[in-house]
Structure 1
Amino acid sequence: MNITSFLLYCCIVTFTPGPTNIVILSTVHNFGTKKAIEYSYGATIAFGLLLGISAVLNTVLIAVIPKILIVMQIIGTFYMLYLAYQIYKMDVSESAEIRTATFISGFLMQFVNPKVVLFTMTVIPSFVMPYYTTPPALAVFATLITIIGFCAFVTWVLFGAMFKEFLQKYQKTVNVIMALFLVYSAIMASGVVELIKR
């Protein structure tokens, strides 16, 4: 398992601006740090739950249809390349509208956030399951990814406006670097490197 590309992928997807992170940023500005932390707790629990669902679903699918792992790796690779493109052309200057800033809204947001749903459904089969398939190993990786996600949410809370200003000032440079890291992660997850080595 290429732990570097795995960690890069997890950090890039969770730390870069997306619906949840932008709402957290808006919550800090409009309602303060306490409300943003409450929202983040809800988002983190839902994030971990989605990872658990992914691990269970993919374990069942692999047991029933062993070749599904290759299909999920391909889907995961294309999704990472799509994310790289989206990050490359992203505009973080628009602030997200916020109606509520509660634990429940943070929790529910994850289930309607396509970035999170696709990430949680592809990260485990793309990076973890080719090497680890036992329930304890999958639980460890799901927990690790959840912790990374929580750290990302807290980062957006702590840095608030300062983080947003930095991204706006160096937006293109940051986006290009993040996009390149994602392309690297996609190549490593695809299994192409292992095929070339054979």
Structure 2
Amino acid sequence: MELYLSMAAFALAASITPGPVNLVALGSGARFGWRPSLWHVSGASVGFAVLLLLIGLGLHKMLERLPVLLVFIRFAGVAFFLYMAWQLAADDGVLSPEAEGRRPGFWAGAVMQWLNPKAWLASLASMGLFATEGGVGRIWAFTLLYFLICYLSVASWAWAGSRLGRHLQQPERMRRFNRLLALLLVASAGYLLVD
């Protein structure tokens, strides 16, 4: 039981803290509401769970042999975060039916996790700490536990955004909020370059 509490604590600390995926969930919740943002939440959670499971089942061995893949992931992540930041900064803040097409969906959430070095580091560290010594059964159990905590964590950011969105109904306020999120994404991307 103590092992699973430690696993849950690690998963919560890694999932609930600010990061690019959570910032996009916050922005999506503010712009489109909580329920429509659950597609992004679902994609991010499934994407992370698949990454975590593959790391546990042996993907980490390939990364040890080909460390250039981690460099590629880092730069692809930076490019993707900058693209998302540009989309936020360029947004006019007007809530319209056309804006619905720009809502981050399932695949955007999944791709963000696969291009997010924080997700890779959390997967590598947590599988090394908690699951690989316990066999395939523990890897699957840890992946399920982490998926649930990740889903609830990212969903809480979307929910917080939906509450905040009530105060951002004016296009100028939404533009300022989107630009703040864009700056935070750029800072996340910059951190990845200097880390």
Q: Same fold by TM (over 0.5)?
A: yes
Partner-residue secondary structure (3-state), 1:17: helix
Sort the Cα spacing of 1:21 and 1:146 in 2 relative to 1 into closer, same or farther, 3 A: farther
- The Cα offsets for residues 69-106 of structure 1, whole Å up to 9 and x where unpaired, read as 22111111111111111111013423348xxxxxxxxx
Residue of 159, 166, 169 corresponding to 1:165: 169
Sort the Cα spacing of 1:42 and 1:179 in 2 relative to 1 into closer, same or farther, 3 A: closer
d(CA) in 1 for partners of 2:107, 2:120 = 22
**1:17 corresponding residue in structure 2:** 28
Contact 2:84–2:182 (CA under 8 A) maintained in structure 1: yes
**1:32 corresponding residue in structure 2:** none
Kindly indicate which of the two structures has a greater share of residues assigned to helix: 2
Residue of 112, 127, 130 corresponding to 1:119: 112
**1:30 corresponding residue in structure 2:** none
Partner-residue secondary structure (3-state), 1:165: coil
- How far is the alpha carbon of 1:21 from its aligned partner? 5.9
Residue of 140, 153, 158 corresponding to 1:153: 158
Residue type at the aligned position of 1:11: N
- Structure 1 residue runs without a partner (length 5+): 26-35, 98-108, 194-198
Q: Is the deviation greater in 178-187 or in 134-143?
A: 134-143
- The Cα offsets for residues 97-118 of structure 1, whole Å up to 9 and x where unpaired, read as 8xxxxxxxxxxx98x6442122
Matched residues, number: 158
d(CA) in 2 for partners of 1:9, 1:181 = 8
**1:183 corresponding residue in structure 2:** 186
Report the aligned-residue RMSD.
3.7
Contact 2:43–2:107 (CA under 8 A) maintained in structure 1: no
Residue type at the aligned position of 2:109: V
Partner-residue secondary structure (3-state), 1:133: helix
- The Cα offsets for residues 148-168 of structure 1, whole Å up to 9 and x where unpaired, read as 3211332355456x24415x2
- How far is the alpha carbon of 1:144 from its aligned partner? 5.3
- The Cα offsets for residues 34-88 of structure 1, whole Å up to 9 and x where unpaired, read as xx4xx77776555422220122345644322432222111111111111111111
Sort the Cα spacing of 1:45 and 1:128 in 2 relative to 1 into closer, same or farther, 3 A: closer
Partner-residue secondary structure (3-state), 1:71: helix
Q: Structure 1 residue 84 and structure 2 residue 89: aligned?
A: no
- How far is the alpha carbon of 1:171 from its aligned partner? 2.8
Residue type at the aligned position of 1:94: L
TM (normalized to structure 1)?
0.60
Q: Is the deviation greater in 174-183 or in 113-122?
A: 113-122
- How far is the alpha carbon of 1:15 from its aligned partner? 0.7
d(CA) in 2 for partners of 1:134, 1:182 = 25
- How far is the alpha carbon of 1:133 from its aligned partner? 3.0
Residue of 4, 11, 18 corresponding to 1:7: 18
- Structure 2 residue runs without a partner (length 5+): 1-13, 132-141
Residue type at the aligned position of 1:129: W
- The Cα offsets for residues 128-153 of structure 1, whole Å up to 9 and x where unpaired, read as 43474342488587655433321133
